[in-house]
């Protein structure tokens, strides 16, 4: 159900505790944690996604927020103007600003259109696939206001189809369901062809992972592909062929994609076929750790090996185990790289910063008996802008070594 857009005068007021870092919030930090807010009985009774006016401990207004008493992020800053009205026009202004940036960068309408806090829509992800957009409303306020959000999206972009993807752990942390929907138009009845880095990817917008494709690795795909001309390439945790298809498009002699998902590998095969590269492309389905071990036993060797796993450390409690997993991946992958070959290691873990991830990767390479120079450190593309005040918005790290 869509939450009512009430005049600001009737909105509840929530207040920061004296210990809260009000200065950081005034300077752009977008979250208020549960231990920073006065959580009296009235505040705890607010429905998830309720709009409220935020005040500091001196009762000075700080902006318009969305409150979710069920979440550790109890309030998200939506607008520094506490009198703002979250209507269709408000959404349209932010989406238009995001679209203008993407139009500067990309020639074709295939990109992340809205990257949550960095684009002024906290918890909201929108990926564009030509005439279709997929929204992930990962915060309760966006789920409640999905109708004006969808209407503004269509108004600004002119897309015909809008889908809601409700998968992912973030929605569960907000107390939200996992039920997707078609918000406008219709869902594609077949995978969508996505041109990227001269390759063709097949995106399943209704049954695939996340919104159907990972746009964030685009510049890292391109960097690796530039090193893969004439090379034998191994793409581990490949999903729909991210690194391997880009490498083939750039002139790799052969590529092997490894993933645990049979549907993802079917889409990767379809992408290779659409590129006319089926003869140079093969897949192996199975656990990545076991497959790397098996390839080593088979005496396999590659000129370029890329490992792009899911988040091994999605939260602070998982950090130690996640770093061990990143080290193990590096240890198992390094022996498969030919002398003077390239090893690419990636992390999309929020909890593991660049230094921690690099240390784990270098340790794993060393434990494999290899040494390497770090050629390049890559991050997400410009359609995934970072909010400087929010370290979590810079989650993606990619390291490329010459061994």
Fold of 193-402: Rossmann fold (3.40.50)
Using the 8-state DSSP alphabet, how is residue 281 labeled? E
DSSP per residue, 209-250: STTSS-GGGHHHHHHHHHT-TT-EEEEET-TTTHHHHHHHHT
Q: Look at residue 8 in the predicted model and tell me its pLDDT.
A: 53
pLDDT surpassing 70 at residue 6: no
For the structural domain made of 88-184, what CATH number should be given? 3.30.750.80
Token readout for 223 is: 């960097």
At 199-248, the pLDDT tens digits run 999 999 998 777 889 999 999 999 999 999 999 999 999 999 999 999 99
Residue 240 neighbours by CB under 8 Å, 6+ apart: 201, 202, 203, 208, 213, 264, 267, 268, 271
d(CA 261, CA 347): 19
At 265-287, the pLDDT tens digits run 999 999 999 999 999 999 999 99
Residue 279 neighbours by CB under 8 Å, 6+ apart: none
Domain boundaries, the chain: 8-79, 88-184, 193-402
Gyration radius (Cα) of the chain, Å = 22
Fold of 8-79: 2.30.130
Domains 8-79 and 193-402 share a fold: no
Question: Phi then psi for 265, rounded to 5 degrees?
Answer: -70, -30
């Amino acid at each position: 159900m869509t939450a009512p857009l009430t005049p600001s005068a009737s909105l509840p007021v929530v207040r920061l505790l004296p210990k809260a870092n009000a200065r950081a919030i005034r300077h752009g930090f977008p979250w208020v944690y549960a231990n920073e807010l006065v959580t009296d009985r009235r505040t705890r009774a607010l429905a998830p996604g309720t709009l409220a006016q935020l005040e500091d401990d001196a009762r000075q207004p700080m902006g318009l927020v969305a409150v979710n008493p069920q979440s550790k992020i109890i309030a998200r800053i939506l607008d520094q103007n506490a009198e703002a009205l979250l209507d269709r026009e408000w959404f349209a202004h932010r989406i238009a600003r995001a679209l203008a940036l993407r139009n500067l960068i990309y020639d074709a309408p295939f990109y992340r259109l809205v990257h949550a806090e960095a684009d002024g829509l906290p918890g909201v992800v929108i990926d564009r696939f030509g005439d279709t957009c997929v929204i992930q409303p990962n915060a309760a306020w966006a789920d409640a206001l999905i109708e004006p959000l969808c209407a503004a999206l269509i108004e600004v972009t002119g897309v015909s189809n809008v889908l809601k993807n409700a998968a992912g752990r973030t929605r569960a942390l907000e107390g939200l369901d996992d039920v997707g929907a078609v918000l406008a138009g219709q869902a594609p009845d077949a995978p969508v062809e996505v041109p990227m880095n001269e390759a063709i990817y097949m995106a399943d917008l209704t049954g695939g992972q996340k919104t159907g494709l990972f746009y964030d690795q685009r510049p890292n795909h391109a960097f690796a592909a530039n090193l893969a001309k004439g090379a034998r390439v191994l793409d581990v945790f490949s999903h729909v062929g991210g690194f391997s298809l880009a490498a083939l498009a750039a002139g790799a002699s052969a590529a092997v994609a490894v993933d645990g998902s049979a549907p993802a590998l079917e889409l990767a095969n379809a992408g290779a076929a659409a590129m006319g590269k089926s003869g140079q492309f093969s897949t192996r389905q199975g656990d990545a750790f076991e497959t790397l071990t098996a390839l080593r036993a088979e005496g396999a060797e590659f000129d370029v090996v890329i490992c792009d796993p899911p988040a091994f450390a999605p939260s602070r409690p998982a950090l130690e185990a996640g770093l061990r997993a990143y080290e193990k991946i590096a240890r198992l992958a390094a022996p498969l790289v030919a002398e003077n070959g390239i090893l690419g290691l990636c992390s999309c873990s929020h909890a593991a910063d660049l230094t921690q991830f690099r240390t784990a990767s270098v340790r794993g390479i060393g434990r494999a008996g290899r040494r390497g120079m770090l050629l390049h450190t890559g991050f997400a593309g410009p359609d995934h802008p970072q909010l400087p005040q929010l370290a979590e918005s810079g989650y993606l790290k990619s390291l490329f070594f010459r061994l």
